[in-house]
Amino acid sequence: MGHQRVFSGQHQTARFGELVQATCEVGAGPEGRAAGASMKASEVFDACHGRYRSLHEWLEESTGKVRAVNLESPSSGYQWRPSRSRACEFVADFERIGRQALRRPQWKGRLKLFEIYFLHSMEYREAIKLVGVAEGTFDYWLQEVKRAVGRELSQCKLFPPSKYFQA
């Protein structure tokens, strides 16, 4: 039942979602969109949140740890990573911009959802309990958060992430 609600929320976003003027490099967008294609704010959010999560995990894993190497397993190959300071800036900017986009007093619950579900990567069912709303309300708020924060990320030049790291 939760999947149907999320799906219907995504369908609602597709019908009523706002387009933002965000451009992608060829192949750089979430679905490899062509250069100059308009994207929905929720798609902008998804692209930036994906980069946020990967950098956040990388920063946590690499803090003061020495990793063992298994010489018998094949290497995953080269993975580009920005400088540590620039990665920290992206993570901090994503968090700050998200909180700024949800700063309205009547959106305290949505801000709580953003922090619990998106920043702390809490499991879906547990996040619903912690936010303290019904599942349908949570799904609706989730889509509103993605749209509001996605618009702000686009305006603040955090999207596309590849251009953020070239600056």
93-124 residue pLDDT tens: 999 999 999 999 999 999 999 999 999 999 99
Using only C-alpha atoms, what is the Rg of the chain?
A: 17
Query: Taking a C-beta distance cutoff of 8 angstroms, is the pair 46, 24 a contact?
Result: no
Confidence class for position 132, pLDDT limits 50, 70, 90? very high
Query: Taking a C-beta distance cutoff of 8 angstroms, is the pair 109, 131 a contact?
Result: yes
pLDDT recorded at residue 91: 92
3-28 residue pLDDT tens: 333 333 333 333 334 444 444 433 34
Is the pLDDT confidence value at 72 over 60? yes
**Whether the predicted model's global pTM rises above the 0.85 cut:** no
Question: CB count, 10 Å around CB of 127?
Answer: 19
